């Protein structure tokens, strides 16, 4: 068992990252009452660490859910102009298509983690990619919690690679499109918060990796998954 | 000790705090409990059970299906790796086209993986409907969607108003029997309306009323010595393009090729003779060609017969019927000559057609000298005209004169394919339903909402008054509430608000229908008016079905399969393999509706599906295999296709001669059944056969049409002349029963340019304009430009109007106007404007439209066309029947 003093801080930061990815991934699903309840519960829980302005998001929730659902559809589903396509391939491969090579690379990374996509969407849907980051972060924190620094390093590297190859590369443009086209303040704010968080997260990840590696050099092996 | 926990130490989800159950982490500081709950997953399952090979991905495999992009219906194969389709090509087991395909098949992948597809069920939240009204769709579940549909059906049934239900069909497979053939009937509506009359029904009119076959033809190009094309462009847009494109180099080497076409087509560019006919004057050319063949004595005596004395056909002179001894193969040649052909000299035709008399004479002679290995190949252009039925007869009858009918190097049909009829829904039609089906008998005009069979719309498919659809007129039926008001519409795989002439009427009609369901892959101009949108599977990649094709003297029938699934027999695998939450329009959706109706006490439809569609291998009905509705629906789809194809794969059943299989899976993996070759002359009475006409002969004087028109006149207590007048034809008396010339009926007579339309080589019917490849390669259509919608002018006209390439122009027709881009092009005849059909979408997707939902890319030709008809066939009219004015903007 590792008793290094930095661990508490890492865990606290890690918890915030895990929770934020969790929250963001949920928020990019079709809005229903369960989602509203979740947002309100998160906002009402002072002990829960999240790195987005959850209070602001909740305050922007409209009185009736239908306007949110219609806005969600216009932004992310269609059937008319897809104002903010929620697929990585559209931004990364420049062919205006889904299921491109980048999508297949995303699927490969999911499979490496023994994950099967159950969402009725391509693997690089924003909600799935955010949830994948959540899962990797969760595994990293769990490893840290168990003082498995080598494992934690591997999951940090996987996060860094995924962010650098996929989500981090397209989310800013995606968020811009949401901000530009959303009819509800909720989605405008959500996009801004998501972009801010994800953009800063690569620095956050680099720092974490650096700290873990410097703190326990003899324990750190890891794999190079950056592509 | 661990430094984190998840609010409690319990591993039991029911006992932990809500935030932990939802997958959030909470830190409590040193000494707290261990993290006991794993991450909470929404978009994934943590697949301990993911098999090892899943981690590696699956190997690439060619899987068999069918391209439904046009009516070539080529058997295809798709390279699938790791659940993704990469490539397409023809199925090499096809004895028609082998692994050849055409560009349209290649576009299909971009349809499949188009982010503009409808990906889940949606519901309109804005009750107002109109072209410029945002429907404000919201996503809903399948359950909610099916609930609403069942509510409405039950309301119609409870009110005994099932005749107010309507269903419209576009691209289908032969599982259409379920949604199109059975669902309206069991609910209780006569209104199942197909797209066929906007396709090319008039093409079938000539063959039916001369040789008794209501069908498209195949053409024996490998054995032919002369090809006479009427508005057909076999290397571009006609049927079985894969085969003909592959053969065409040899055809040009071995045969003469003449093309009758008002613009320079792909085939015309390579032809020996280009006959740039004045739009609508095809009938003059056809009758003049027949005139020359007879006056030059070049008819095929073995098929037709000969004079018994030294008589001959002399221009302007009648012939004594007694002097000509027709063979047992034909009927009425001399009547045809005396009543029509004797005056149709090349000079007479030259005045009308703009084609020089010398060329008419030369082509007629060359064509007939190649007899019987000479084909008159009739496409849509010369016949989808207001008086087009008679052009169809005249051009097709040339095959009779040269004895190429069903003969080596001529036109022929498909040998029988042996597929089974799916079960009959009639026993499940109850009293309420029957009353709805019978409603038009006592009320309003015609037999269905398209008013077929009314005095104005004989639509004489297969000799029956009201036998065929009048697709476009269904809009008027809806607007006029004649023969009934429509309260509910299910529209599947069609885009009537785009693909029907004077399409504005459809926008009005659709806006008027209170409850509309659209089942499509894309949010089309039609889907814009829907209350419920249901996302359709892509025919070629994601569902079961069957289509057939004919060429190379054979027929083939092939499967459409859910090729993305590793085991398409397994409903679970099929559903999982789909990228989005889509369902097949023809089978799964009707099952889901039936299941919901049964829950509400109306069980007839589900009873039909469960009792009649057991898996022929296991004997299990869908509900005996699964409880889940969606799995039952997919099992039903699989069972339906197995039943349909059973004679071809089940060695215990009889099938026509052709490929033989030893079971379902062997057949399924091959994906195709090929017939034996067509036996030449098998319908010639002189060879022991029979034509499907009244006389059993090839009719130059159509006793078959005489009878059909007579019955239609009797139905309306009048005579044939009155029917002719009512339906805008010139013929009176016996002329109505022979192939003859009618002066073109033109809407917008006083306008300046004849409007000449043709189909794009890249049109997957109306559904490919949103693929980037379509726009990038639009210049494969002669004279067109990439990513543009151009109207093409002859340089002489362009000079006069001061029009240059790239100018924005407005085309104004008698009913509407559009804007597009001008192009100066020598392949356009003076006095005409040529425009490809396909562009002009204001919906359908971001690539297809200028601004998706509002602004079209160019203009849709169908906004210009007048809702007029070739009433004998029921066909819509898009050729040779309209003029337009041009304004430079």
- C-alpha dist (Å) from residue B727 to B93, B273, B724, B736, B766: 47, 35, 5, 12, 29
pTM: 0.95
Taking the CA of residue A221 and the nearest CA in chain B, the distance in Å comes to 22
Q: Residue B123's closest chain A neighbor by CA?
A: A70
Q: Quick check: B640 and B420 in contact, CB under 8 A?
A: no
A135/B44 touch (CB, cutoff 8 Å), yes or no: yes
Cα–Cα distance measured from residue B470 to residue B487, given in angstroms and rounded to the nearest whole number: 20
Residue ranges in chain B whose pLDDT is less than 70? 1-17, 27-37, 48-58
Interface test with A, best of B2, B20, B24, B31 (most A CBs within 10 A): B24
Structural domains of chain B, ranges and CATH numbers in brackets: 1-46 (no CATH), 753-888 (2.40.40.20)
Cα–Cα distance measured from residue B883 to residue B868, given in angstroms and rounded to the nearest whole number: 13
B533/A48 touch (CB, cutoff 8 Å), yes or no: no
Cα–Cα distance measured from residue B482 to residue B452, given in angstroms and rounded to the nearest whole number: 11
Inform me whether the C-beta atom of residue B27 falls under 8 Å from chain A C-beta atoms: yes
Inform me whether the C-beta atom of residue B58 falls under 8 Å from chain A C-beta atoms: no
Which among B499, B839, B521, B844 is positioned nearest to A80, based on CA atoms?
B844
Give residue B85's pLDDT.
97
Q: What backbone phi and psi angles, to 5 degrees, belong to B429?
A: -85, 115
B4/A72 touch (CB, cutoff 8 Å), yes or no: no
Tens-place pLDDT, residues A68-79: 999 999 999 999
Cα–Cα distance measured from residue B682 to residue B415, given in angstroms and rounded to the nearest whole number: 11
Name the E strands within A63-121: 115-117
Give residue B57's pLDDT.
57
Which among B796, B794, B819 is positioned nearest to B809, based on CA atoms?
B819
Taking the CA of residue B85 and the nearest CA in chain A, the distance in Å comes to 9
CA B597 to chain CA centroid, nearest Å: 31
Helix intervals (H) in B31-171: 52-56, 103-112, 142-158
- C-alpha dist (Å) from residue A172 to A85, A92, B116: 13, 12, 21
B3/A11 touch (CB, cutoff 8 Å), yes or no: yes
Counted across chains A and B, CB pairs separated by less than 8 A come out at 189
Inform me whether the C-beta atom of residue B86 falls under 8 Å from chain A C-beta atoms: no
In a 13 Å sphere around the CA of B91, the CA atoms on its Cβ side amount to: 28
Residues of B in contact with A139 (CB under 8 A): 39
Inform me whether the C-beta atom of residue B1 falls under 8 Å from chain A C-beta atoms: yes
Cα–Cα distance measured from residue B570 to residue B637, given in angstroms and rounded to the nearest whole number: 11
Give residue B47's pLDDT.
74
- Residue B184: CB atoms within 10 Å: 24
C-alpha dihedral over B586, B483, B447, B179, to 10 degrees? 10
- Residue A45: CB atoms within 10 Å: 17
The size of chain A, in residues, is 227
Evaluate if residue A225 carries a pLDDT over 60: no
Cα–Cα distance measured from residue A149 to residue A124, given in angstroms and rounded to the nearest whole number: 29
Give residue B873's pLDDT.
97
Tens-place pLDDT, residues B262-299: 999 999 999 999 999 999 999 999 999 999 999 999 99
Tokens of B704: 């078959």
Tens-place pLDDT, residues B825-836: 999 999 999 999
Tokens of B62: 């060619």
Cα–Cα distance measured from residue A189 to residue A178, given in angstroms and rounded to the nearest whole number: 9
Helix intervals (H) in B412-517: 431-442, 474-480, 496-499, 504-512
Q: Residue A136's closest chain B neighbor by CA?
A: B39
The size of chain B, in residues, is 889
Inform me whether the C-beta atom of residue B253 falls under 8 Å from chain A C-beta atoms: no
Residues of B in contact with A23 (CB under 8 A): 24
Which residues contact residue A209 at a Cβ distance below 8 angstroms, ignoring those fewer than 6 apart? A153, A156, A157, A160
Name the E strands within B268-389: 273-275, 305-307, 324-326, 330-331, 374-378
Structural domains of chain A, ranges and CATH numbers in brackets: 6-219 (1.10.3480.10)
What sign results for the dihedral spanned by CA atoms B29, B31, B37, B39?
positive
**Percent of chain A at pLDDT above 70?**
92
B30/A112 touch (CB, cutoff 8 Å), yes or no: no
The SS3 of residue B137 is: strand
Give residue B6's pLDDT.
39
Question: Which B residues in the span 514-553 are in contact with A, Cβ-Cβ below 8 Å?
Answer: 522-523, 527, 533
Mean of the pLDDT values across residues A80-97?
Answer: 95
Taking the CA of residue A128 and the nearest CA in chain B, the distance in Å comes to 6
Q: Quick check: A56 and A19 in contact, CB under 8 A?
A: no
Q: Residue B842's closest chain A neighbor by CA?
A: A80
Cα–Cα distance measured from residue B643 to residue B648, given in angstroms and rounded to the nearest whole number: 10
Give residue A8's pLDDT.
81
Tokens of B543: 């569902």
Q: Quick check: B315 and B345 in contact, CB under 8 A?
A: yes
Q: What is the CA radius of gyration of chain B?
A: 29
Which residues contact residue A155 at a Cβ distance below 8 angstroms, ignoring those fewer than 6 apart? A136, A137, A139, A140, A143
Q: Quick check: B869 and B875 in contact, CB under 8 A?
A: yes
Give residue B28's pLDDT.
61
Interface test with A, best of B36, B38, B43 (most A CBs within 10 A): B43
Which among B573, B496, B582 is positioned nearest to B539, based on CA atoms?
B582
3-state secondary structure B499-536: HCCCCHHHHHHHHHCCEEEEEECECCCCHHHCCEEEEE
Cα–Cα distance measured from residue B546 to residue B175, given in angstroms and rounded to the nearest whole number: 7
Question: Which B residues in the span 107-126 are in contact with A, Cβ-Cβ below 8 Å?
Answer: 110, 112-120, 122, 125
Strands B122-124 vs B532-535: parallel, antiparallel or unpaired: antiparallel
A121/B579 touch (CB, cutoff 8 Å), yes or no: yes
Burial code (b: 16+ CB inside 10 Å, e: under 16) for A147-159 equals bbbebbbbbbbbb
Tokens of A53: 């302005």
Cα–Cα distance measured from residue B315 to residue B338, given in angstroms and rounded to the nearest whole number: 10
Q: In this complex, which of A49, A98, A138 lies closest to B113 when CB atoms are compared?
A: A98
Q: In this complex, which of B42, B138, B851 lies closest to A29 when CB atoms are compared?
A: B42
B115/A82 touch (CB, cutoff 8 Å), yes or no: yes
Inform me whether the C-beta atom of residue B144 falls under 8 Å from chain A C-beta atoms: no
Which among B778, B780, B765, B777 is positioned nearest to B265, based on CA atoms?
B780
Q: Residue B54's closest chain A neighbor by CA?
A: A111
Cis ω for the linkage preceding B542 (within 30 of 0): no
Q: Residue A69's closest chain B neighbor by CA?
A: B138
Confidence of residue A2 (pLDDT cuts 50, 70, 90): very low
Taking the CA of residue A215 and the nearest CA in chain B, the distance in Å comes to 17
Q: In this complex, which of A1, A85, A131 lies closest to B43 when CB atoms are compared?
A: A131
Which residues contact residue B875 at a Cβ distance below 8 angstroms, ignoring those fewer than 6 apart? B197, B198, B200, B201, B202, B383, B384, B388, B869
């Amino acid at each position: 068992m590792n008793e290094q003093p930095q661990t508490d801080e890492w865990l606290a930061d890690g918890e915030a990252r895990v929770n934020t990815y969790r929250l963001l991934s949920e928020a990019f699903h079709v809005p229903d009452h369960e989602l509203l309840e979740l947002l309100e519960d998160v906002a009402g829980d002072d002990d829960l660490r999240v790195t987005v302005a959850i209070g602001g998001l909740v305050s922007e929730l409209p009185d009736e859910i239908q306007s949110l659902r219609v806005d969600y559809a216009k932004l992310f589903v269609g059937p008319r102009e897809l104002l903010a396509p929620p697929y990585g391939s559209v931004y990364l491969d420049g062919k205006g298509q889904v299921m491109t090579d980048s999508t297949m690379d995303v699927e490969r990374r999911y499979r490496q983690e023994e994950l099967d996509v159950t969402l009725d969407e391509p693997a690089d849907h924003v909600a799935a990619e955010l949830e994948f980051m959540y899962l990797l972060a969760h595994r990293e924190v769990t490893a840290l919690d168990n003082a498995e620094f080598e494992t934690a390093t591997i999951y940090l590297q996987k996060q860094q690679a995924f962010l650098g190859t996929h989500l981090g590369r397209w989310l800013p443009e995606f968020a811009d499109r949401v901000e530009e086209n959303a009819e509800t303040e909720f989605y405008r704010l959500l996009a801004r918060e998501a972009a801010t968080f994800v953009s800063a997260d690569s620095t956050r990840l680099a720092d974490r990796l650096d700290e873990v590696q410097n703190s326990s050099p003899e324990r750190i092996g890891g794999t190079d998954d950056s592509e | 000790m661990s430094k984190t926990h998840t609010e409690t130490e319990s591993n039991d989800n029911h006992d932990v705090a809500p935030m932990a159950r939802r997958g959030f982490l909470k830190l409590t500081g040193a000494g707290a409990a261990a993290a006991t709950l794993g991450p909470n997953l929404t978009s994934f399952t943590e697949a301990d059970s993911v098999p090892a090979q899943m981690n590696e991905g699956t190997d690439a495999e060619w899987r068999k299906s069918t391209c439904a992009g046009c009516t070539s219906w080529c058997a295809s194969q798709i390279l699938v790796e790791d659940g993704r389709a990469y490539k397409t090509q023809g199925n090499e087991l096809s004895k028609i086209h082998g692994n050849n395909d055409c560009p349209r098949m290649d576009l299909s992948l971009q349809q499949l993986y188009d982010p503009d597809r409808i990906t889940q069920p949606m519901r309109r939240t804005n009750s107002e409907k109109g072209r410029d009204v945002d429907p404000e769709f919201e996503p809903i579940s399948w359950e909610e969607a099916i609930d609403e549909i069942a509510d409405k059906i039950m309301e119609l049934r409870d009110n005994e108003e099932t005749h107010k239900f309507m269903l419209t069909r576009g691209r289908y497979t032969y599982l259409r029997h379920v949604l199109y053939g059975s669902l309206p009937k069991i609910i209780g509506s006569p209104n199942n309306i197909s797209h066929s009359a906007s396709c090319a029904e008039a093409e079938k009119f000539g063959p039916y009323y001369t040789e008794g076959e209501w069908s498209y033809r195949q053409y024996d190009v490998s054995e032919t010595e002369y090809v006479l094309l009427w508005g057909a462009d076999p290397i571009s847009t006609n049927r079985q393009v894969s085969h003909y494109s592959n053969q065409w180099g040899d055809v040009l080497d071995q045969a003469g090729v003449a093309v009758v076409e008002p613009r320079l087509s792909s085939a015309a560019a390579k032809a020996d003779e280009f006959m740039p006919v004045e739009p609508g004057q095809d009938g003059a050319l056809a009758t003049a060609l027949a005139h020359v063949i007879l006056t030059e004595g070049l008819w095929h005596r073995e098929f037709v017969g000969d004079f018994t004395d030294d008589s001959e056909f002399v221009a302007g002179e009648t012939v004594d019927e007694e002097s000509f001894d027709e063979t047992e193969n034909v009927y009425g040649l001399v009547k045809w000559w005396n009543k029509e052909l004797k005056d149709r000299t090349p000079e007479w035709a030259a005045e009308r057609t703009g084609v020089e008399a010398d060329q008419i004479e030369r082509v007629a002679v060359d064509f007939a000298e190649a007899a019987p290995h000479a084909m008159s190949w009739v496409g849509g252009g010369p016949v989808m005209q207001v008086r087009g039925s008679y052009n169809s007869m005249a051009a097709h009858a040339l095959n009779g004169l040269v004895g190429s009918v069903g003969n080596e190097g001529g036109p022929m049909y498909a040998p029988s394919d042996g597929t089974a009829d799916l079960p009959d829904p009639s026993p499940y039609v109850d009293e309420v339903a029957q009353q709805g089906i019978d409603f038009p008998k006592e009320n309003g005009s015609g037999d269905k909402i398209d008013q077929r069979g009314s005095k104005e719309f004989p639509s004489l498919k297969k000799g029956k008054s009201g036998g065929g659809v009048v697709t476009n007129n269904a809009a008027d039926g809806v607007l006029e509430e004649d023969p009934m008001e429509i309260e509910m519409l299910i529209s599947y795989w069609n885009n009537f608000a785009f693909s029907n002439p004077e399409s504005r009427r459809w926008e009005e009609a659709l806006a008027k229908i209170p409850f509309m369901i659209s089942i499509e892959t894309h949010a089309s101009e039609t889907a814009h008016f829907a209350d419920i949108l249901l996302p359709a599977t892509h025919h070629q990649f994601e569902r079961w079905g069957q289509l057939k094709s004919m060429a190379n003297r054979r027929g083939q029938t092939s499967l459409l399969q859910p090729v993305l699934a590793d085991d398409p027999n397994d409903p679970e695998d099929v559903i999982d393999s789909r990228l989005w939450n889509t369902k097949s329009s023809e089978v799964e959706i009707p099952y889901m509706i039936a299941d919901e109706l049964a829950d509400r006490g109306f069980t007839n439809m589900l009873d039909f599906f469960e009792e009649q569609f057991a898996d022929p291998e296991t004997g299990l009905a869908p509900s005996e295999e699964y409880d889940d509705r969606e799995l039952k629906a997919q099992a039903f789809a699989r069972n339906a296709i197995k039943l349909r194809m059973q004679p071809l794969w089940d060695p215990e059943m009889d099938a026509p001669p052709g490929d033989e299989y030893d079971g379902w899976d062997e057949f399924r993996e091959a994906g195709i059944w090929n017939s034996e070759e067509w036996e030449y002359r098998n319908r010639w009475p002189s060879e022991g056969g029979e034509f499907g006409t009244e006389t059993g002969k090839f009719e130059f004087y159509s006793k078959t049409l005489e009878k059909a028109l007579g019955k239609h006149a009797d139905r309306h207590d009048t005579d044939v002349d009155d029917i002719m007048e009512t339906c805008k034809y010139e013929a009176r008396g016996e002329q109505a029963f022979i192939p003859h010339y009618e002066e073109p009926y033109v809407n917008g007579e006083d306008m300046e340019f004849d409007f000449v339309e043709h189909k794009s080589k890249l049109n997957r019917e109306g559904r490919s304009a949103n693929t980037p490849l379509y726009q990038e390669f639009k210049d494969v259509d002669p004279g067109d430009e990439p990513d543009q919608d151009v109207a093409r002018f002859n340089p002489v006209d362009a000079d006069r109007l001061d029009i240059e390439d790239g100018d924005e122009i407005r085309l104004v027709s008698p009913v509407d106007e559009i804007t597009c881009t001008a192009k100066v092009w020598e392949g356009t005849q003076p006095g005409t404007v040529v425009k490809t059909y396909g562009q002009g979408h204001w919906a359908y997707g971001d690539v297809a439209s200028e601004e998706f939902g509002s602004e079209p890319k160019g203009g849709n030709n169908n906004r210009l066309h007048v809702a007029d008809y070739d009433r004998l066939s029921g066909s819509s009219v898009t050729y040779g029947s309209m003029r337009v004015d041009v304004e430079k903007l």
